[in-house]
Chains A and B, each alone.
Chain A
Amino acid sequence: MSPNDWQAVWLTLQLGLATTVILLVLATPLAWWLAFSRSRWRTPVQALVALPLVLPPTVLGFYLLLLLGPQGAVGGTLEALGFRHLAFSFTGILIGSVLYSLPFAVQPLAESFRTMGVRPLQIAASLGAGSWDRFRSVVLPLCKGGFIVAATLTFAHTLGEFGVILMVGGSIPGETQVLSVLIYDHTEALNYAAAQRLSLGLLVFALAVLLVVYGFNYREPSRQRHNQQAEQ
């Protein structure tokens, strides 16, 4: 592997980790609201969150490029304030990744909150637990599987991202050239050996991640059923 390849591996890991951390923080309250709210806005918000699943990455990439670039609402404002706009930068592809992977974080979390239900929280509250204590000692342990699935799926999906990053980020080594984009670049350079190495690495990694996710999915329901039986 060339230094350029390692640089892309490191960059991809940074992007994946940053996206996962940011998304877990943002997606937890959002998923909570989606799981328990009776607001009439629930369905539209749910649809919006799921949008990246069906939208071509080029559409998202195109809008983001216009929005974050020097003439866009966000990029233009930043330029006016003396900062650099966000197109073709790491921050730009990070924003793209967060939006693109949003459903992969929100949906497993909302699902596990719904499965848990509000009852354990009511019991904890009646025992005098504060809201942070309830989150830490009731929600986190009961929905651990949901958090793990959300984190792994988000991380893995960020690794598999291509179209958004290519459009928003270009292919700048060390800045926006993540593994998927580098593989594309290697094939264009007819550098098949390098493309092969990186592709195989990603294939093995993706498979491992999915094994982890399905392993958890399989174990969680059986344990919950067990708990319910014990309650009865």
Chain B
Amino acid sequence: MLRRGLTPFFRMTCWLALAWFGVLSAHAAPLTLAAASSLRDSMNALVQQFEQQHPEHPVRVVYGSSGKLASQIMHGAPYDIFFSAHADYSDKVVAAGLAGAPPMEWAEGRLVLWHPGHPDLKPEDLSSAAIRHIAIAQPRHAPYGKAAMEVLTRLADDQLQQRLVFGENVGHATQMVQSGAAEVGLIALSVVRGRVLRGTSYTEINPAWYQPLKQTLMLTRQGANHASAQLFLEYLEQREARDLFADFGYLPLTQNGEPIHVAE
């Protein structure tokens, strides 16, 4: 009885295995972007536009803190273009000999204080007893976390250090506030202008209080051989792409790398 029961099972397993290897080897990998978490909603919107205009060039995006993505590239991750929220991390990839082209600064990001339950909160009010947890991204590998630490150091209140909770990246830190676990977060302007949080109130942090968050983009050594990479990079130069990022609060840069302030 068992013989009859098992033979078709083995046969089916073999066919499944064959079909599965067929599926795996059939198609070339889509263009793979590695992008800082702060870019998530804007990049998703951009990729959607790009794919509408170029349906024959599929794109997939992996999000994470810039430091984690850089470390993954150095461990051999198959990313074609790397969007870092700070030049430090694209420079690391260059130093490891894994760049396909020099990194390019393309916009400047901004840090904001997001405080869903506390309207009109200013950075100085973080010392108030009502604020028990301040969510920031992990400063060791997330540029927005590092900028947040610079702001907190400037506020010179030792109490604040004990209220810090660390997200793996700016998206994770945002989620800590969104879930109510932390009262406030020091996160990216592009995130509070994102799909879910757009329209909520936030306070911009004085940009002089932290090192500028110059966004860089870079073709990786692997990406230099990808058929869609150049097309995507050209698309980024276009007006509609620039407008899209501006809409999420990114400041475009002049030739000298100075941010251009656009009237809203």
Instruction: Say whether, besides A14-B20, A17-B16, A70 and B32 are in contact (CB < 8 Å).
Output: no
Q: Is A90 an interface residue (CB 8 A)?
A: yes
Q: Is A51 an interface residue (CB 8 A)?
A: no
Measured CA separation A204–B261 after assembly (Å): 51
Q: Tell which of A27-35, A119-127, A165-173 binds the partner.
A: A165-173
Q: Is B216 an interface residue (CB 8 A)?
A: no
Q: Is B175 an interface residue (CB 8 A)?
A: yes
Measured CA separation A87–B30 after assembly (Å): 18
Q: Is B171 an interface residue (CB 8 A)?
A: yes
Query: Using Cβ atoms and an 8 Å threshold, which residues of chain B touch A80?
Result: none
Query: Using Cβ atoms and an 8 Å threshold, which residues of chain A touch B63?
Result: 171, 185, 188-189
Measured CA separation A188–B24 after assembly (Å): 28
A144 to chain B, nearest CB (A): 8
Give 1 or 0 for each of A165-188: 1 = CB within 8 Å of chain B CB: 000001111110000000001011
Q: Is B211 an interface residue (CB 8 A)?
A: no
**Are A75 and B76 in contact, with the CB atoms below 8 A?**
yes
**Are A172 and B62 in contact, with the CB atoms below 8 A?**
yes
B116 to chain A, nearest CB (A): 12
**Are A21 and B171 in contact, with the CB atoms below 8 A?**
no
Q: Tell which of A109-117, A135-143, A155-163, A224-232 binds the partner.
A: A135-143
Using a CB-CB cutoff of 8 Å, which residues 1-47 of chain B contact chain A? 2-3, 6, 13, 16-17, 20, 24, 29-30, 32, 37, 40-41
Q: Is B169 an interface residue (CB 8 A)?
A: yes
Query: Using Cβ atoms and an 8 Å threshold, which residues of chain A touch B244?
Result: none
Of A17, A18, A175, A191, most buried by chain B (CB within 10 Å of CB) is: A175
Measured CA separation A71–B16 after assembly (Å): 33
Binding site for B on A (CB under 8 A): 14, 17-18, 21, 65, 69-71, 75, 85, 87-90, 136-137, 140-141, 144, 170-175, 185, 187-191
